Chain A
Amino acid sequence: MTSSLSVEWLGERRYADGLTLQDQSVADRIAGRTGDRLILLEHSAVITLGRSTDPANLHRTPDEMRAAGIDVYEVGRGGDVTYHAPGQLVGYPILDLAGLDRKDVHDHLRRIEAALMDALEQLSVPARRVEGRTGVFIDRARSARPDGPDRKIASIGVGIRKWVTFHGFALNVTLDLAGFDAIVPCGLSDVEMTSVLRELEIEGKGEGLAAATLDEQVRGLVGEAMCARLGAEGS
């Protein structure tokens, strides 16, 4: 399938490098030096603190986290605390929404969610949206473990500069979920974080899965789904 979106996999990058990269990519897209791109990568373990981060959402002090080998990064913009680490697929769609004739930021968010849900369905992980919350959650009704709090599998946050998008999504694939214990993700205290691997285990399909293989498979599926949902229509 051809798509107007070019997908690039960069491997593991530090969060700070990701920021520089996005700045550059957005500038390139605005100047027309590149077309629409989806940059896929993983971040080295890092906790990002937003400007509005409530200290109550941190269960450990930044120094304790640094001592545990987790980078702490203050992003100086809105948003709450997030956790990234290898085993979590991060995607920055760098799209010119004006060029795509889709000048609607919520439509962009919904498309990212839809693409992630498409990819998760392919993996037999039941996914859904939760009204009023951005991100992708497990559809517990269809899960082998329907009880307990909502389980969040992907976070989404988008920036926009002259109708060019940046930031994007973070899908938990195989990362150690214990990393989230240090924080309350996005300030949602009644939500449990989960991952593709964790959900496959719940479904009884986790047997003998190699993390690296699963990471790669998810990457491929997400790339395809994003192309289908985010690319130009009719391409």
Chain B
Amino acid sequence: MTIAVDLPSLGESVFEGTVSRWLVSVGEWVEIDQPIVEVTTDKVDAEIPAPQAGVIDEILVSEGDVVEVGAVLARIDPEGKPSASPAASEPANVPPPSMPDPVAAPPSAGPTDPPATPVARRVAEEAAIDLRDVSGTGTAGRVTKEDVLRHQSGGGATAPSAPVTAPSPPVTEAAPVQTAPPAAPAPTAPTAPAARRPAPARSNASFGYELQPGDRVIPMTPMRRIISEHMVYSKRTSPHVGAVAEVDLSRVVKLRSQHKAAFQESYGIPLTFLPFIVHATVRALREVPALNASVVEDSIIEKQDINVGVATETEKGLVVPVVRNADRLSLAGTAMAIDDLANRARTKKLSADDLRGGTFTISNPGRQGNLYGFAIINQPQVGILRMGEIAKRAVVRTLDGEDAIVIRTMMYMALSYDHRAVDGAPANGFLYRIRELLEAGDFDL
């Protein structure tokens, strides 16, 4: 069964609207409430949301068409499979695991009927195809609509279906994944049309898990759920690319030990490494505004303000309070702002305003067992810097014209950036600039 998306009543005097823009295309998976089309009436642009999750089965009106209230704009197939190949490397385009996976056939089906999706069943019925003749490639050998169509078009038995437990293909960093962010149209980045491959077996749609004796079930707290949703949203929205730089912190170490006592004396807080990193990053952001940006609709927005979020672990989970206008702060000011936010995070005294408006994020997951790693972008930002552990390492330096192995305090910094908005050259330039600033150790204290 497909579900009709019709033009809802937008008011008593509104009888029709003009379809101004489709935000999705046929074959694309949409979430419930995801805006799928913009309709303009008089001076109002209304976004029409999907009434249910599913695949866009049919688009019935074109951009520029005038449609009456109640007219059907599109049809959504809640059981459908996304047709576009990018789904192969984009798990978010595949129905979420919450979808029921009724391996048991519906009551109407004969006992010998193989498992099949309702759509497949309908298509087979219409084409008078016996489902038993169709080999299923869906989860647990379930017959899908595509299987029926392939059978009908003479494909006969398909190639052996992929093992149902096959892991999804990994999302590679540089893959031109055509994402479908819920609030924005698909990016116009060129994707090879030739890349249309048959949709693979749905390998990651339903990772059902049967509880085993001794398992402990921990319901997610609301905060955990928010974190979870945000992470999935971010990965789905932004093609993440990672880059790592190693930085020699020897000058910073020296500065810090020279000023530690006086700093504690003057400001009443310890001088840690974090403010140095934040301060250097902020200076680099000023020089490379491409990283201090957001993608909104078809535009990249470079922000005037630099508000740096500092990821902070609390008892209840991860929070990212924001150092506002960080570029106007001295090193000491930065240190005090971070200390204040961290304290308030721990004592649960952060306000909503402390958590919003960040334009870039720095994550300092801490101490040991963390050489480097890539953080997930904090949407709607386009970059996040993750600090690795700070440790002494043997490195090669040229001293008096001679190469020598010396011991230096080193750290890896990993930048994750949104390839929709930022390309490699500016991102690497940005990362390198942070390194230069830290290695120069040119901080006012």
Which of the residues B44, B304, B305, B352 comes within 8 Å of A158, measured between beta carbons? B44
Contact present for B11 and A156 (CB under 8 Å) = no
Within 8 Å of chain B (Cβ to Cβ): is A23? yes
Binds B, one of A56-64, A102-110, A144-152: A102-110
Known: A104-B10, A106-B11. A16 touches B47 (CB 8 A): no
B46: which A residues are within 8 A, CB to CB?
105, 159-160
Contact present for A76 and B299 (CB under 8 Å) = yes
Within 8 Å of chain B (Cβ to Cβ): is A134? yes
Within 8 Å of chain B (Cβ to Cβ): is A78? yes
Within 8 Å of chain A (Cβ to Cβ): is B183? yes
Size bracket of the A interface: 20 to 34
**A88 to B119 CA separation, bound complex (whole angstroms):** 55
Contact present for A106 and B14 (CB under 8 Å) = yes
Interface of A is mostly: mixed
A78: which B residues are within 8 A, CB to CB?
20-21, 38, 40, 45
A14: which B residues are within 8 A, CB to CB?
304
Contact present for B38 and A77 (CB under 8 Å) = yes
Contact present for B352 and A160 (CB under 8 Å) = no
Closest CB in chain B relative to A27 CB, distance in Å = 8
Contact present for B45 and A160 (CB under 8 Å) = yes
Within 8 Å of chain B (Cβ to Cβ): is A51? yes
Closest CB in chain B relative to A62 CB, distance in Å = 14
Contact present for B45 and A159 (CB under 8 Å) = yes
Binds A, one of B144-152, B253-261, B290-298: B290-298
Contact present for B42 and A134 (CB under 8 Å) = yes
Closest CB in chain B relative to A210 CB, distance in Å = 27
Within 8 Å of chain A (Cβ to Cβ): is B96? no
Contact present for A103 and B380 (CB under 8 Å) = no
Within 8 Å of chain B (Cβ to Cβ): is A190? no
A52's nearest neighbour on chain B, judged by CB, is B20
Contact flags B12-45 to A (C-beta < 8 A → 1, else 0):
1110000011000000000001010010111111
Contact present for B303 and A17 (CB under 8 Å) = yes
Which of the residues A20, A76, A105 comes within 8 Å of B44, measured between beta carbons? A105
Which of the residues B33, B43, B305 comes within 8 Å of A134, measured between beta carbons? B43
Contact flags A72-85 to B (C-beta < 8 A → 1, else 0):
01111111000000
Closest CB in chain B relative to A126 CB, distance in Å = 22
Within 8 Å of chain B (Cβ to Cβ): is A161? yes
Closest CB in chain A relative to B355 CB, distance in Å = 11
Closest CB in chain B relative to A81 CB, distance in Å = 14
Within 8 Å of chain B (Cβ to Cβ): is A157? yes
Contact present for A109 and B43 (CB under 8 Å) = yes
Contact present for A19 and B296 (CB under 8 Å) = yes
